[in-house]
């Protein structure tokens, strides 16, 4: 991206001045190198998002932003329903409520290395992974609707986890307002056998060592110590979420002219929040959030079984937060509180210290912001800041962001060679797909440490701890 087209506000904040149909400016976060490396399509998509009805304050792009469907991945935008604000399927994404969950093991690196091969094989055997993967759970129509309404709370009620887990999950494990009736039969069929599965792409289950502590006080509040081992799970709503996105983007595109909406890009198909179609999408999307929360809860149960069997250890939940959602939240804009619908696509919610929605034991430190690396690279734990409210509606980055397409990655790397190279570094990868490993090679992504540093320096979230992988179960 040409920085000459932007107004530099700070070393980590850049502005696209309103032009043409833009209703608000665009704001991009990142150091100059990250901004220059963003593809030009990010600029175009931020401009288009800033042109949508009812948008408030600005259209934002996080430091890991790259081209996506409609919104850029790493895009954030808030809409006011009282000012004709809209909800956009392209502003949520197809993998609804894809997110990261991190758990304490109570173990150290030496304990893992003593059984590393056995642990990697057991996790790979127990947690279904890969394109089209299915699990042992099969939901009938009644249980499907109960899961879509209940989320992780439904899963705990079926024996997949413990009640205390729910307090460490955003929305306490259940997204209110879900309406299973608004989810198509096809979407439900796609999910019938996929609960408790990781899927493919950039999803993973990783065993990680806490390699460095950057904020000792917050790390202590989170229960993180250097040398300790955690488990992180990155996945979402699988086929159901993708089908919800497909179904509603078609409906929104067809209804746009009747709803009086001019679309700068068909991929930005949307509907007024106060319309029947907008409400239907919100009900379905919230059901998709519950699907993802239930899915990560079941995978947690499976991982707990493995750690109990192999190491006699228990897993305690640190936090679970999503990065593909639209949430109704209260934010202060121009000195007054407003009820807004915040789209975060490839962006993580980052509530600051004192926020009432956080569990009491984490409230003083701020919300854990869980940033996943890619296969073989570091992941990070950050903390939400009070400043983030003013900067981008309490939002932060979600990962490294792709630097090249999956097709380009497979031309450059061979999956088994990537696996062997990581093994030489002490990182064991288990995956059913050599092609998938090539697509997800570390070099196919931006430098996650640079993204996290820019996020920290911008004030979006505060760097707390760095995690390094020991075992990676990869889709």
pLDDT of residue 172: 97
DSSP code string of 342-372: EEEES-EE---TT-TTS-HHHHTT--EEEEB
Query: Is pLDDT above 80 for 417?
Result: yes
Integer Cα distance of 173 and 300 in angstroms: 13
Q: Mean pLDDT for the chain?
A: 96
Query: Is pLDDT above 80 for 131?
Result: no
Query: Is pLDDT above 90 for 266?
Result: yes
Integer Cα distance of 367 and 385 in angstroms: 8
Statement: the pTM of the whole predicted model exceeds 0.95: yes
Q: Helix (H, G, I), strand (E, B), or coil: what is residue 429?
A: strand
How far is CA 25 from each of CA 114, 214, 463, rounded to the nearest angstrom? 54, 34, 28
Query: Is pLDDT above 90 for 132?
Result: no
Structure tokens at 55: 């948008």
pLDDT band at 157 (very low <50, low <70, confident <90, very high): very high
Strand partners, 327: 342
Question: Which amino acids are annotated catalytic?
Answer: 398
Query: Is pLDDT above 80 for 130?
Result: no
pLDDT of residue 445: 85
Average pLDDT in the 58-63 region?
98
Helix or strand (DSSP H, E) at 29: strand 26-29
- Name the DSSP letter for residue 144: H
Percent of the chain with pLDDT over 90: 88
Dump pLDDT digits (tens) for 337-361: 999 999 999 999 999 999 999 999 9
Query: Is pLDDT above 80 for 320?
Result: yes
pLDDT band at 59 (very low <50, low <70, confident <90, very high): very high
pLDDT of residue 98: 97
Structure tokens at 135: 């699990």
Query: What residue ranges define each of the domains in the chain, with the CATH number in brackets?
Result: 3-403+445-474 (3.90.1860.10)
pLDDT band at 225 (very low <50, low <70, confident <90, very high): very high
């Amino acid at each position: 991206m040409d920085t000459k087209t932007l107004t530099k506000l700070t070393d980590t904040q850049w502005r696209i001045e309103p032009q043409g149909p833009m209703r608000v400016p665009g704001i991009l976060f990142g150091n100059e190198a990250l901004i220059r490396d963003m593809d030009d399509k990010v600029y175009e998509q931020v401009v288009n998002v800033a042109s949508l009805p009812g948008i408030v304050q600005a259209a934002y792009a996080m430091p890991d932003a790259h081209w996506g469907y409609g919104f850029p991945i790493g895009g954030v935008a808030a809409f006011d329903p009282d000012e004709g604000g809209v909800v956009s399927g392209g502003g949520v994404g197809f993998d609804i409520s894809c997110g990261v969950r991190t758990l304490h093991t109570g173990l150290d690196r030496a304990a893992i290395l003593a059984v590393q091969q056995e642990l990697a094989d057991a996790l790979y055997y127990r947690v279904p992974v890969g394109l089209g993967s299915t699990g042992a759970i099969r939901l009938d129509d009644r249980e499907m609707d109960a899961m879509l309404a209940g989320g992780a709370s439904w899963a705990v009620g079926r024996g997949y986890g413990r009640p205390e887990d729910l307090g460490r999950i955003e929305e306490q494990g259940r997204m209110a307002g879900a309406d299973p009736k608004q989810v198509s039969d096809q979407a439900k069929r796609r999910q019938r056998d996929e609960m408790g599965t990781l899927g493919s792409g950039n999803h993973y289950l990783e065993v990680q060592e806490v390699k460095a502590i950057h904020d000792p006080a917050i790390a202590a509040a989170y229960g993180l110590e250097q040398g300790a081992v955690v488990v992180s799970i990155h996945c979402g709503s699988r086929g159901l979420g993708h089908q919800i996105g497909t179904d509603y983007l078609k409906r929104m595109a067809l209804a746009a002219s009747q709803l009086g909406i001019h679309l700068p890009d068909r991929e930005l198909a949307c509907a007024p929040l106060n319309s029947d179609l907008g409400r239907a999408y919100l009900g379905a999307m919230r059901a998709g959030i519950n699907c993802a929360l239930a899915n990560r809860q079941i995978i947690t149960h499976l991982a707990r079984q493995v750690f109990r069997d192999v190491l006699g250890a228990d897993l305690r939940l640190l936090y679970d937060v999503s990065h593909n959602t639209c949430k109704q939240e209260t934010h202060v804009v121009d000195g007054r509180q407003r009820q807004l619908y915040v789209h975060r696509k490839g962006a993580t919610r980052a509530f600051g210290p004192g926020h009432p929605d956080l569990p009491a034991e984490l409230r003083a430190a701020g919300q854990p912001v869980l940033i996943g690396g890619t296969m073989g690279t570091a992941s990070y734990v950050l903390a939400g800041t009070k400043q983030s409210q003013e900067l981008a509606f309490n939002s932060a980055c979600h990962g490294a962001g792709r630097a090249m397409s999956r097709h380009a990655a497979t031309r450059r790397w061979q999956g088994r060679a990537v696996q062997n190279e990581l093994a030489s570094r002490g990182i064991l990868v288990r995956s059913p797909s050599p092609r998938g490993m090539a697509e997800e090679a570390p070099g196919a992504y931006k430098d996650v440490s640079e993204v996290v540093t820019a996020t920290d320096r911008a004030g979006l979230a505060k760097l707390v701890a760095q995690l390094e992988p020991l075992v990676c179960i990869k889709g």
